Amino acid sequence: MSARMAKDPDPVVPFDPSVFEGPAFRKKREVPDGLWMRCPGCEGMLYRKVVAENLEVCPTCNYHFRVPARQRIVQLTDTDSFEEFFTDILPDDPLNFTWRERKYGEYIKEYQAKTGTDEGVLTGVAYIKGRRAALGVMNGEFIMGSMGSVIGEKLTLLIEKATAEKLPLIIVCTSGGARMHEGALSLMQMAKTSAALGRFDEAGGLYIAVLADPTTGGTTASFGMLGDVIIAEPGALIGFAGARVIANTIRTELPDGFQKAEFLLEHGFIDRIVHRKELRSELARLIDYCES
Ligand SMILES: [Zn+2]
């Protein structure tokens, strides 16, 4: 060792986290997990149980929290009436796609374990206040509700079933857009579902699209916007591309909240905004009105 290094007044000591007691290593004193939640609408602290009993809506400001597919089915349908179909359509990794150094197949397994569902949509037939209907509910928790081949195929089969059995069709959308992990295959689902809806329409079927937060990208650009009646939940983000992408492309300032349900209703893109508490009754009313 040279004399110069030995005299170093501030030598570099290897970092040992076991002896460090700074703030970053102290356990955070947080609210017990799962008991309380903060509302993004009113910033209030909410008792999670109260929100759950209120259909996942803030009792103070009516902020609509996102709802996983199975819970949504319970909210919308008559008790135990949902009969699930097309459960044998399962995801694959046709492009052998790797993202962020992980295989797409690994993501699928991770989300299957996390959400308890095989893919991003549940499809079946259920009763809504006694009215039989074909029902598809997207699961925003599954890879951000992105639409890949399974969602496209299951929804197409559901639309064809509704056509053959002359059932009203309801699809609850919540989606981050097309699933990039499947490349062009995910984009093809837009054409496939739209063509099936075209045949359903020619056969005289009633299709109600329910747009929940968020509905974007390829989902908006296909079955999301093809409803005979398009309902949105209050405050839902609905759009095709993200606001920043649009602003950068057309180089102009965009109006406030231009991708919110309320703005879209005002400008004629959707037909109505329905509070979650009213959604089940509204669907039943629409089915009666269109079938009478
Ligand atoms: Zn609130």
Please, which pLDDT band fits residue 267 given cuts at 50, 70 and 90?
very high
In the prediction, which pLDDT does 39 show?
Answer: 96
Ligand 1 mean position, distance from CA 173 (Å): 23
Tokens of 226: 């093809």
Ligand 1 mean position, distance from CA 45 (Å): 8
CA 24 to chain centre: 34
Ligand 1 mean position, distance from CA 60 (Å): 5
Rounded to an integer, what distance in angstroms lies between the CA atom of residue 7 and that of residue 11?
9
Residues with CB under 5 A from ligand 1 (ion): 39, 41-42, 58, 60-61, 63
- Please state the rounded mean pLDDT for residues 235-262: 92
Q: Is the pLDDT of residue 88 over 50?
A: yes
Instruction: Please state, rounded to an integer, the average pLDDT across all residues of the chain.
Output: 91
Ligand 1 mean position, distance from CA 13 (Å): 49
Poorest-pLDDT segment among 15-29, 60-74, 146-160 = 15-29
Ligand 1 mean position, distance from CA 234 (Å): 13
Q: Is the pLDDT of residue 2 over 50?
A: no
Ligand 1 mean position, distance from CA 187 (Å): 36
Ligand 1 mean position, distance from CA 235 (Å): 12
Q: Is the pLDDT of residue 137 over 80?
A: yes
In the prediction, which pLDDT does 290 show?
Answer: 85
Ligand 1 mean position, distance from CA 57 (Å): 8
pLDDT digit string, tens, across residues 171-204: 999 999 999 999 999 999 999 999 999 999 999 9
Q: Which residues make Cβ contacts (< 8 Å) with residue 94, sequence separation at least 6? A: 149, 182, 185
Q: Is the pLDDT of residue 148 over 50?
A: yes
Please, which pLDDT band fits residue 263 given cuts at 50, 70 and 90?
very high
Ligand 1 mean position, distance from CA 48 (Å): 12
Ligand 1 mean position, distance from CA 175 (Å): 23
Q: Residue 233: which of 102, 62, 103, 118 has the closest Cα?
A: 62
Q: Is the pLDDT of residue 136 over 80?
A: yes
Q: Is the pLDDT of residue 109 over 50?
A: yes
Q: Residue 277: which of 125, 56, 78, 66 has the closest Cα?
A: 56
Ligand 1 mean position, distance from CA 46 (Å): 8
For residue 214, is the peptide bond before it cis, meaning its omega torsion is within 30 degrees of 0? yes
Ligand 1 mean position, distance from CA 282 (Å): 24
What would the 3-class secondary structure string for 137-148 be?
A: EECCCCHHHCEC
> H/E element holding 156?
helix 149-165
Rounded to an integer, what distance in angstroms lies between the CA atom of residue 230 and that of residue 217?
16
**Alpha-carbon distances of 286 from 130, 131, 220, 281, 291, rounded to whole Å:** 13, 11, 22, 9, 8
Tokens of 202: 């020619």
Neighbouring CB atoms inside 10 A of 64's CB total: 19
Ligand 1 mean position, distance from CA 11 (Å): 53
pTM for the full model?
0.87
